[in-house]
């Protein structure tokens, strides 16, 4: 399964609770249970790891809640003298256009080899330049794939928003349980609001 990254993020929320001591793994288990209780269709829960920085840095485990290509990567971890909660909402890139791109590249190389064999080492590549415009069709292929196999519909928008709200509610429910048990006040409505991008006009 591909990883999302901050550049792919369509929504984000975070909160630091100073003085709170909690277990990330226990938090993840509680979120898993809260999501499971909601019986959200087509949802898969898994653990993913992201590097904290560059290639040689440590890794941080996130809880991923995935519905088709939409994912929430949820994090709970100690920070300074407290504990922070966060989640990132993103859409994974479709796999098919990448496969199509690979097939086109291999096809391009096969044609190049055939041209070189038929008309010579120098004339073959020269003739192949005539096929360069095919490469320019790659963005169109991606657009056509989206139109045919992943179109934007009322139902898709509705169910996407219900998935987002359900997961948000599950995460907030667990955060309330964790913090209330340690004497912290519940989050205000303003503190619960995430920063969201327009999912359908990105």
10-31 pLDDT, tens digit each:
899 999 999 999 999 999 999 9
At 21, which CATH number?
A: 3.30.160.110
From residue 6, how far is each of 20, 72, 73, 134 by CA, in Å?
Answer: 26, 12, 11, 32
83 & 100 share domain: no
Residue 81 lies in a domain: yes
Do 79 and 15 share a structural domain? yes
Q: pLDDT tens across 59-88, in order?
A: 889 999 999 889 999 999 999 999 999 999
> What Cα–Cα distance (Å) separates residue 116 from each residue in 71, 104, 119, 124, 197?
46, 18, 6, 4, 50
Same domain, 140 and 184: no
2 has pLDDT over 50: no
Residues 35 and 110 in one domain: no
Number of domains in the chain: 2
> How far is residue 50's CA from residue 52's CA, in Å, rounded to a whole number?
6
- Do residue 89 and residue 131 come from a single domain? no
Query: Is there a domain that residue 135 lies in?
Result: yes
pLDDT band at residue 197 using 50, 70 and 90 as cut-offs: confident
Q: Which residue range(s) make up the domain with 61?
A: 6-93+159-201
Residue 40 lies in a domain: yes
Give 109-172 as a 3 state SS string.
HHHHHHHHHHHCCCHHHHHHHHHHHHHHHHHHHHHHHHHHHCCCCHHHHHHHHHHHHHHHHHHH
pLDDT at site 151: 82
Same domain, yes or no, for 163 and 65? yes
Residue-wise pLDDT tens digits, 145-179: 667 777 888 998 999 999 999 999 999 999 999 99
User: pLDDT digit string (tens) for 106-131?
Assistant: 676 676 666 666 766 666 566 666 66
Q: Residue 53: inside a domain, yes or no?
A: yes
Of residues 202 and 117, more confidence is placed in 117
Q: Are residues 171 and 89 in the same domain?
A: yes
In a domain, 154, yes or no: no
Do residues 14 and 38 share a domain? yes
């Amino acid at each position: 399964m591909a990883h999302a990254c901050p550049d792919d993020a369509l929504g984000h929320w975070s909160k630091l609770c100073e003085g709170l001591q909690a277990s990330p793994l226990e938090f993840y288990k509680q979120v898993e249970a809260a999501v499971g209780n909601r019986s959200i269709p087509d949802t898969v829960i898994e653990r993913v790891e992201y590097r904290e920085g560059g290639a040689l840095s440590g890794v941080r485990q996130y809880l991923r809640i995935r519905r088709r290509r939409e994912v929430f990567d949820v994090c709970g971890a100690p920070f300074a003298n407290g504990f922070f909660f966060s989640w990132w909402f993103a859409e994974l890139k479709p796999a098919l256009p990448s496969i199509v791109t690979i097939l086109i590249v291999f096809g391009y190389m096969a044609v190049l080899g055939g041209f070189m064999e038929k008309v010579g080492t120098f004339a073959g590549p020269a003739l192949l330049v005539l096929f360069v415009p095919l490469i320019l069709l790659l963005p169109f292929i991606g657009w056509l794939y989206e139109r045919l196999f992943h179109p934007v519909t009322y139902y898709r928008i509705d169910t996407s928003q219900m998935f987002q709200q359900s997961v948000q509610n599950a995460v907030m429910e667990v955060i309330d349980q964790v913090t209330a048990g340690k004497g912290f006040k519940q989050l205000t409505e303003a503190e619960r609001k995430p920063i969201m991008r327009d999912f359908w006009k990105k």
